A and B are shown apart, each in its own frame.
Chain A
Amino acid sequence: MKLVLLWTDCLFFLLLAGIALMVPLSGRNIQLREQWGRVFGSRVGVASAMVLCAFLVTAALDSVHFRPALENAGSNTGGQIHYSPRVLSLLDCIFGELNRPAEKTYSVPFASHAFCKENVLTQSGDVVREFPRLSYGGRHLEDPENEKLRDIMSRTGKAVVHAFMLWALIAVSCVQMLAWRQNRSFSGSVVRIWRPAPAVFPWRTVFAVLLVIFLVSGWLYEMSRVYHVLGTDKVGMDVLFQALKSIRTGVLIGLLTTLVMLPIAILFGVSAGYFGGWIDDVIQYVYTTLNSIPGVLLIAAAILILQVYMNNHPELFDTEASRSDMRLLFLCIILGVTSWTGLCRMLRAETLKLRSLEYVDAARAFAVRSHVILARHILPNVLHIVLISVALDFSGLVLAEAVLSYVGVGVDPSMNSWGNMINSARLELAREPVVWWPLASAFFFMFCLVLAANLFADAVRDAFDPRTRMVK
């Protein structure tokens, strides 16, 4: 086994580490602590944050890549181990067999028989046209018609019990910890969580969402071991697995684009506002120019050019994964380049306002150097704008990925993404009978992520934006 560190993996883990670093840092700042407290103090905020976390964990699992060693390759090449050209991730391992086409073509969710009729050879040698059994879905059943419902029920029961037990373990230990910290009895702590006083951290919501996440993921895992929970697509790939793999793409596009965009937007926006003069003119010119090019076209042009470049230099990419990874990274960069202008303009306007405030004048009078003023006095006071816009942009980027893939300038066609799923499934509604599950699953997963991101962004905005606080 050889670990493979793709570029996007690196950046993703760096970003996660950065977020983890920010938590204790902002915990020390009283104002930040109060504001984040308000974000997580709202039930919607904490619930959406937990759902986002679940998505992040899935994406992180899917970002640990490796190439398994090929088994019987070592003997005839003199002990040298060869690695499979296929790059796998931890998520692939969890789902085992599902990472390659399990069936021949479409099958309905929870099906045990194929969706299309085929010529099947019976034991007596006749050719019969019927729905053949699937090779993965429901293969453990002798008589699917009668056993399936009971099997599904019993497996559901098992999954529910397991998930509930795990949840109860975590919940009880959390409550016990709380009880110790607040010097209360265990039952007193339970009562307080069940009937929270206003302005207390919403533990009840946390536990409820945690239970839902455990139940759903446990059930999906348990079921996916013997069934295609969301059916299979045209080439027989499990749709649930594809949708789960797509989480990484969606999350990465949202996060890495932000990573690209933030430094440019902050640096340019703040310095344009603070220094004024020709710096301001140049920066304004640059962002007006970039802004005036329709984003899709710029992205399309850049991706077309990347494609030509990649076709001319195939030697740079050793595996297919590294190739599609490069394209994903490039897509993030180009999305970042096209989307920093909005934030930059807002930061410039805010800095212009801050520049003339007395405390900045005072700092200048004390001959504090410009970059120190920027870092110490201006930047902390525009951070709420950065945060709000990052949170708001995330969902837009996830949605944009689908549209771009449809136009053909999104992520690599071989990569799992909701856009690619939708794109390859869009003619399936016209089939008779209708094949609805690939499309529905892609839209549903995307909807969950975007909804959680939107709700979280709302909570962040409510807590950080001074204007909405006034309205409240």
Chain B
Amino acid sequence: MWAYICRRILYAVPILIGVNLLTFMLFFLVNSPDDMARAQLGGKYVKDEAIEAWKANHGYDKPLFFNSGADGLDKLTQTIFFQKSLRLFLFDFGISDDGRSISRDIKDRMWPSLAIALPTFVVGLMVNITVAILIVMFRGAVFELIAVIGLVMLMSISGLFYIIVGQYVISVLCHLAPISGFGTGPADSWRFLILPVIIGVISGIGSGARWYRTIFLEEIHKDYVRTARAKGLSEIRVFFRHVLKNAMLPILTGVVVVIPLLFLGILIMESFFGIPGLGSYTIEAIESQDFAIVRAMVFLGSVLYIAGLILTDISYTRFDPRVRLS
């Protein structure tokens, strides 16, 4: 088991290097540090000295890949690629353009993000599966038709609609929850989480419940279900003892596919609800064109994704004895 996990983690290294190279190319080869400095300092009419000073300040005054001016190992380490990209592997994200430590910011902002993403994810999962089970149990009835049409309609509504209208209805019209913001401690923060979590769950029902419904439908036509029914088990028992257990495997796959999407979800949610998490951090960075932060978040995002992939493979073995680690 441990050997397998170690191997998977080692396998992740070339992928992360690839991610790094890609972002590096995007950020430095297409636009030289000069362009970046000019964009940061504003406009075309910036003096060369100012650009040089900006580059020296932010550590962009080195060659890209190979420093022929330095000696020994410094030839490779005193380069932008090494300093800016490979350092990310040590989770050393450097400083942002406004001079703050990115690692520290990320540590501070991680908790609000988790406080939103985890409840949304867990509650959403349970709601989606419950809805899907209900639809499948009442299949063939008019209820199914209405529910399926309803799901397609829910799915076709833009996520922004849920956020904007949800904020308006729940907070402005009904005054049920604060519209946005975040508290200082866990005690007074939870109120602010209600609205984003509710909206996050509702906006996910359409596609989520539909997806689980297809999984259940596929399972329910298999032979073992017929056998179970033939044994005289009640429909409820068949469903919860047999179908649900066997549907666990495809559900797991689906769940992990969603993990990187969580990142997208919180990105929008946080900036709408004024929550000081990683998502709003990234959006602010994009708006102020702070490449250091965007690069750090790209790296972090891919680490999370790969961790998610490894987790699924491990959990496969827990749920499906047929899968062997190899």
Contact = CB atoms under 8 A, between A and B. Distances in A.
B217 interface: yes
A301 B294 contact: yes
A292 B158 contact: no
30 contacts: A286-B18, A289-B22, A292-B260, A292-B305, A293-B23, A293-B302, A296-B264, A297-B294, A297-B301, A300-B282, A300-B294, A301-B26, A301-B291, A305-B27, A308-B31, A308-B35, A308-B36, A312-B38, A395-B156, A399-B158, A403-B160, A403-B268, A407-B267, A407-B268, A443-B158, A443-B161, A446-B158, A447-B161, A454-B152, A471-B221
Contact of B160 (A301, A422, A454): A422
A430 B15 CA distance: 46
B107 to A, nearest CB: 19
B238 interface: no
A297 B298 contact: yes
Interface string B6-29: 000000001110110011001100
B305 A291 contact: yes
Contacts of B263: 294, 296
A419 B119 CA distance: 28
Contacts of A312: 35, 38
Contacts of B217: 471
Contacts of B286: 300, 304, 407-409
A321 B252 CA distance: 46
A458 interface: yes
Contacts of B110: none
Given A312-B35, A439-B164, A305 B26 contact: yes
A141 B27 CA distance: 58
Contacts of A140: none
Nearest to B287: A408
B122 interface: no
A88 to B, nearest CB: 29
Contacts of A439: 164
A295 B218 CA distance: 30
B18 A285 contact: yes
A455 B152 contact: yes
Interface string B297-326: 110011001100100000000000000000
A458 B268 contact: no
Contacts, number: 137
Interface string A384-405: 0000000000010001001100
Contact of A402 (B15, B23, B156, B160): B160
B155 interface: yes
B127 interface: no
B218 A471 contact: yes
A164 interface: no
Nearest to B36: A308
Given A294-B305, A403-B158, A447-B156, 12 more contacts: A292-B305, A293-B22, A293-B302, A297-B294, A300-B294, A301-B27, A301-B298, A304-B289, A305-B26, A305-B30, A403-B264, A455-B152
A395 B207 CA distance: 12
Contact of A429 (B153, B164, B218): B164
A447 B301 contact: no
B26 A302 contact: yes
Nearest to A311: B39
A409 to B, nearest CB: 6
B168 interface: yes
A309 B271 CA distance: 27
B321 to A, nearest CB: 22
Contacts of B18: 285-286, 289
